[in-house]
Amino acid sequence: MKLVRFGRPGKEKPGLIDQAGKLRDLSEVVADIDADTLSPRALARLAKLKPESLPTARGAPRIGPCVVGVRNFVAVGLNYADHAAETGAAAPKEPVLFNKAPSCIVGPNDDVIAPRGSTKLDWEVELAIVIGTRASYVGEADAMKHVAGFCICNDVSERAFQIERGGQWMKGKGCPTFGPLGPWLVTPDEIDDVQNLRMWLDVNGERMQDGSTASMIFGVTTLVSYISQFMILEPGDVVTTGTPAGVGLGKKPPVFLKPGDTISLGIDGLGRQAQRVVAEGGE
């Protein structure tokens, strides 16, 4: 299934995308795409629905973030060897973890806001994992049992905040709008091999990133298992898994986003996003 949330910010309805690509309204079936809806039992019930029996959404509504009620938004750094190399870092021996603020989550096509004082705004196309079942001390062999699905994340980053202001990375990772998610939450049965998905990102129509999840240092099952050794992952939590080479920081010379720029990104089977960069408080 491809689950989606649509409508005005804060007023989104749950939906699904049918085989013909039509947006179907699920609001008479479930309250939202949240922890309750992401349980294995609830997903199994949704899978039995006949999409043609559901009403279609009217017009072309805004697409919201594909999951609501995220309590933990965990990110993995330097998880592609080529990206680690372009930033001058060694490939890590264990996953590098940090937090993004759940309050940074927005829809896949919402504006990205350059925060006050931003000078080095950057992009990162990433595969994100959405948790469906509580995970604590999970083994790799059982990790996928705890995954409800996958989506695209643009791990928007302010590099000056992240690297030059001291402390940990999270201060450059959690500003408002720094976590576009969606357009869809895709259940694992729709993906042949999550470790072999092409991913790409363009800025102003120019290809910046062109990679594959095959290049991850630590794959999906390893990450879910590893993170669950240090914290409890709850249903609805999001883990974004790192980015391939091609970020602005790695360009020579570096290239950063500015108001007026456009970002387009996608991952095979998971759809695509498109954002416009605006200044905080205006255009």
Alpha-carbon distance of 51 to 49, in angstroms, equals 6
Alpha-carbon distance of 211 to 156, in angstroms, equals 17
Domains, the chain, in order of start with CATH, read 69-279 (3.90.850.10)
Determine contact, residues 180/102, Cβ cutoff 8 Å. Answer: no
The tokens for 72 are 């933990």
**Cis amide bond preceding 65, omega within 30:** no
User: Does pTM surpass 0.85?
Assistant: yes
DSSP state of 109: T
In tens digits, the chain (283 residues) has pLDDT values of 999 999 999 999 999 999 999 999 999 999 999 999 999 999 999 999 999 999 999 999 999 999 999 999 999 999 998 888 888 888 899 999 999 999 999 999 999 999 999 999 999 999 999 999 999 999 999 999 999 999 999 999 999 999 999 888 899 999 999 999 999 999 999 999 999 999 999 999 999 999 999 999 999 999 999 999 999 999 999 999 999 999 999 999 999 999 999 999 999 999 999 999 999 876 5
DSSP state of 113: E
Alpha-carbon distance of 167 to 282, in angstroms, equals 29
